[in-house]
Amino acid sequence: MNTKSPALDPSVRRPIADTDIFVSPIGLGTVKLGRDQGVKYPNGFTIPDDQQALSLINLARELGINLIDTAPAYGNSEERLGKLLKGQRRDWVICSKVGEEFVEGQSSFHFDEASVKASIDRSLKRLNTDYIDMVLVHSDGNDVAIIEQYGILEVLSNIKKQGKIRATGMSTKTVEGGILAAQQSDCVMATYNLAYTDEKPVLDYCAEHNKAVLIKKALASGHLCLEPGEDPVSKSFELIFQPSSVASAIIGTINEKHLRANVLTLLRGIVCNQSRGPAS
């Protein structure tokens, strides 16, 4: 008996600005593969071992997901992915970040040019790759100040020209910062969900200027799934995929059942009837 789950077709992949990168409408977030301290989830969890993590990654690939999101601030997520993705590199669009470090339970932020360059070189080694598809600035909330004082997006643009990264952007926390980041890069990662729509102007700006948006906290870090009534996942997807700028929603689950259900919900909705990606 064939028990293979329905999968996202490559034709529904969405573009990252004017790059040649196309991503699945759901991306796999990997905070829970490397960090269980200082995270804001409604329930505790155990970091999966390598066998469990590889099973999750293989399932995501089978479900048609090609975007995987990591960061130096996600504990040892990058190092683990460098081993777990061995032999699969061409199957994945890898998104990582610069700016935030997480050491011994504490975050610190470093946005100067030397720190950014060192962070990318370290991520390349950890991920066991000679290029990272997307690199975003991990903001501490002072989006505009980071961009203007450090020229950090220009630094990333120059590194992009060297071939170490293929697309640049910023994970922002303000409308002003999101729009400024969009003006200087390919992509913005913004918060947008049923409980929080304040950053909608960023999505609108990106739609008007051919810039891509990745949605973080699409399900409010799982909190929306605790509310009664209509299916929160289906309603969430209906909301977040309305703006044409939204390329993907990053969902950080380590539960295979939840991952299958999320993809199935997406397939059942109107999202996958709005193809903007390549047909190959």
Catalytically annotated residues: 74
Tokens matching residue 33: 């593969």
| Distance in angstroms (rounded) separating the CA atoms of residues 124 and 74 | 15
Tokens matching residue 17: 């600005």
Given a contact cutoff of 8 angstroms between Cβ atoms, the answer to whether 96 and 132 are in contact is yes
Q: Which residue has the tokens 């789950």?
A: 5
Exposed / middle / buried, residue 26 (Cβ in 10 Å: 0-12, 13-18, 19+):
buried
Tokens matching residue 26: 């759901």
Given a contact cutoff of 8 angstroms between Cβ atoms, the answer to whether 181 and 147 are in contact is yes
CA atoms lying within 13 Å on the CB side of residue 210: 3
| Distance in angstroms (rounded) separating the CA atoms of residues 275 and 166 | 23
| Distance in angstroms (rounded) separating the CA atoms of residues 121 and 172 | 23
